[in-house]
Structure formats: structure tokens, C-alpha cells
Structure 1
Amino acid sequence: MDRAPRPPGGEPGVTHQPGRPDQSMTLLREVVERPLDPGYAAAAQRRAEGRAPALPWWRKGIVVVLAAALGLGAVWAARELRAPTDGAGDARALLLSQVSDGAARGQQLRADNAALVEQIDRLQEESLRGTDPEFLERVQLLTLNAGSARVRGPGLRITLDDSRDAQAGEPGADLGRVQDLDLQVLANALWSAGAEAVAINGHRLSGLSAIRSAGPAILVDLAPLARPYVVEAVGEPGDMQARLTRSTGGAHLGTLRESFGISVSIEETEELVLPGTTARTLRHAEPLEGHTEREDG
């Protein structure tokens, strides 16, 4: 049987037209080629030709009234959300009053403690002056070395203050604030430079003193400090300033001034009066047995 050749993909004698490559994507073609719905297109054409029906005045009025009501409602809601409620304001006022009362009570307790320490020293001196003056002299020397006695003498007064941006509260100016580390470095540098007594904002430093931070506040022996920070050191002013300049503490002060804008001023003074510290309680150290007898012998 003779087989006539057939066109590929169909019956003999049937002509096949080539289809579109995107024939199976009818929906996508409609979206791309005709993005506007026919109804919207007809309405737009009527408006362009001036044949669109005009809205009645009462419908326009309703639209205006609804828009004004929505705007007023949005403004009222925003004001209500931003305005603090009475309960929040009362709670904040109560917390502020408690903080103020606590700070005042702490200041009063520190003043009472200082007065009691002075009274104890006076009574101790009166009791030992007539009975054992040599022992009294030794006690006075020990209290002087421990930082418990008031001292007077020449020295340096170094003042640190926050940068102008930090004082103005500019964003990103936190590095321009004096930190507890800065005061620690300066105090250690002054001790190494030959200082015999050091105080920060009137708080005497001793072997038991701690300089630390609590949030943005700097504390010395748990007492908060306020800027500017005045560091006073008793000793020979010229030698101390020369040694401080050559030390890492002097380099740290230069970095604070040049890189962070912190104000640093150093002043030599002929007479400084530093109070004694009230931190005298040893928590861990105990005297060795027989140490006093060997010294006396």
C-alpha cells in the first residue's frame, strides 16, 4: 500500500497555521495589553468628551462633610494619643518627688556622717592628748595617710567638663561626656605623679574609694557628682604637672580635648583644703597577729 507523506502534527490535506508563542498566557496578555477595565475606559472616554453625568450638589456636599469629619477625627485621635493621661502624669510626678526626697535624704545623711566623724576625731584627740601624746601623733599620721584627716597645701586643680554638643543634648554626642573611666585614669595619674591627697568635687579619695557610673551619672563612694568635675590634688604643683604631662594620664587628657571636645583646664594653686573621707570601715582586711608588738619592740 502506497503511503503518501503527511504534514507533521496533523491529518493529511489539513493546513495548520502557526500559533502565537504566548497563546497559553491569555490572562497575562490581557493584563499587559489592556490594563484598564473596559468599563473604566468607557467612563474616561465619556468624561473626555464631556458626556459624563454631573454629580448632584447633595452628593458633593456629603463628600465634603465626610472628608471634614475624617480629618477632624484623625486630628483628635492624634492629640489624644500624644497627650499624657492624668494617671501617667501623676505617676511621673510621684517618682520625681521620691527621687528628689531620696537625694536630699542621702545628702543629709552624708552631712550627718561627716559631723559624727569630726566629733569622734575631736573626742579621740582630747582623750589621748593628756594620756599618750606619742600614740596620738601616730594615730594622726595614720589617719593622714589613710585619707581620713583634712589636709592643706599647694597643688593642682584640674577641671573637666562635657563638650558643647553634649551639653546642648545634640544627638550622637554621648562620647563628648566625661565618663567614670576618665576620672579613674586622671586620679591614678595624679597618684603616680606624686599627689599626697586627691579629691573629686569635694569627695576625698582613699584606698577604699570607688569611682563608678550608674547610667549617665558618675559616683564617688556612691555619692553622685555633677558637672563640671573638679579634681584637686595636694602636692608640689610644678613636679606634679610635669609628671602628669609625660604620663599616660596626660595623653588621655589630650585625647579628650582634641578628639571629643571635652573641656580640660589645669591650674596651679598655692593652697588647697581637702576634707577627710568618711569611708573608714575595712570589709576584708584584718591586722596580722603580733604585728603591733614587733613594731613596738
Structure 2
Amino acid sequence: MSILVTGATGTVGALVVEGLAGAGADVKALVRTRGKRAFPAGVTEVVGDLTDVPSIRAALSSVRTLFLLNAVTPDEVTQALITLNLAQEAGVERIVYLSVIHADTFTNVPHFTGKHTVERMIESLGIAATVLRPAYFMQNELMVQQTIQDHGVYPMPIGSAGVCMIDARDIAEIAVAELLRRDRAPAALEALTLELVGPQAMTGASVAAAWGTALGREVAYAGDDVAAFEAQMASYAPSWLAYDMRLMLGGIQLHGMRAAEGSVERLQAILGHPLRTYEAFVREAAAGG
């Protein structure tokens, strides 16, 4: 029996595949196109699409544990619900689902509410799952690194309420730990929800300062104008995605993404090491690591 990893070529999914393979697990990596990414030896590449029912039925064959990761797409909910139904049909009892923090709070943000819908399906069907709810990924910052370096401006309007950004490597390590815990248990384990957060709450101003320190020159925060952000993003990305991100950033300004008491300590106990800090991430990125 194997562990099926969806989203296997993405930032988190690829790290999860590597971590599982390194731990000696039998891993299937779901991809849309064969050969897009080199996987570790022993990983089975499975071609399929989460809206193509026959391909997912085939992918779920001989699978005991599922890592469900959906990209932000207009049909994200359909993808997830089809996959979970097919997993139940195939007798898969052990699931780790990558959701998002505050999915039940950011109710006007399409991909947040979509993930909350999937969470409610998992709960209503009594699926034995770990729901991982990560905050904003530090790796999202790589999309604006060139702007920061070229213009000395941090352009993401994250505001001042505080965002406990988390490194994707920590997300993947926790996902691997939960997948192995469920996969190797003698029977299906109880449901569990984990909020995945970094060790410090960052603001637009403190993020700009961190980049300034790493680059050795002043970096300014561009401010809280989400409309300007949407317009800029829509110049190179689909308008629905730019608007979704605008709504998310508005929610971040209003609510923040802060760690609940005890979350950091709980995550560090799972990891066996401290969570990566934003400053360390920025130093690494600035050095080209």
C-alpha cells in the first residue's frame, strides 16, 4: 500500500514527496504531465487530473494514505470533493488535507471559503484526516523579490495586523510527519486540525526592514492599497486570481494571520527543531540560496 501525493510538482508537494521517499515510504506522485520534475528513486509517477475521474480512480488503486493539495483554481472545490469521494470509494481511510488558516473567517475570499467547504465535507463524512491550516507562505515573497531588489520597495499590502508567515519547508516537514503517523498506525487515527504558523508576526513595515537589512540598503513598504495591487497583478495573471488575492490581502489587513497560544510550541515539538524565521528566509533568498 502506498501514499498518494497530489500537487506533487509544486512547492510543498515536491518537498512532501522527497520527505516521504527519504523516510522509506512507498510513494505515488500525481502529475499532469510525465517527466515534468525529477523525483527521488523509488517514487512512482502517476499521470492524472483531479477532475478526470478515471485517472484518479486509477491513481488511488492500492493507496492507503492520501495527501490532498489543490492549487488555487476556479474549480478547486470540485477537484477536492471529487477526489475525496473517490478516495472513500477506494477505501482510503487516512488523509492529510492542506487547507488554509482562518478558512472560516475570511468568508469573502473564494479560495478560503472553498477550502472551508472541503473541511466541512471531511468532517461531515467522518473521514479520519489531519487538516493542515497554513498561514501565508514565506516562499510567496519570491514572486516579488525582483521588485524589492530593483526598486527598494516591498509591494505586498499585508498591513499592520500581523502575519505569522511560515516557511514551505516547515509545512512539508509537518505534512510528512502526519502522513507517516497516519500511514503507519495500526488503525485509522482520530481527526486532527493543526494551524501552521511561523514564530513571529510580521507587518508590512517589519518585512521591508528585514529585506533592507539583508540587502544592506533601505527598503520601503509600499502601503496598504489593495486596489493598486489587484491592478498590478491583473496585468500578468488572470483577473479572477488577482481579485481573489486582493480580497485575501484585505482580510489580512483586517484580521491578520496570528498564531493561537501554544501553536508554535506544538509545531516545534512535531518538527523536532525551531520553526524557520522570516529573517533567516530573507537572508537566504537575498544570498541566492
What TM-score comes out, normalization by structure 2 length? 0.19
Relative contact order (alpha carbons < 8 A, sep ≥ 6): 1 or 2 greater?
1
Between Structure 1 and Structure 2, whose CA radius of gyration is higher? 1
What TM-score comes out, normalization by structure 1 length? 0.18
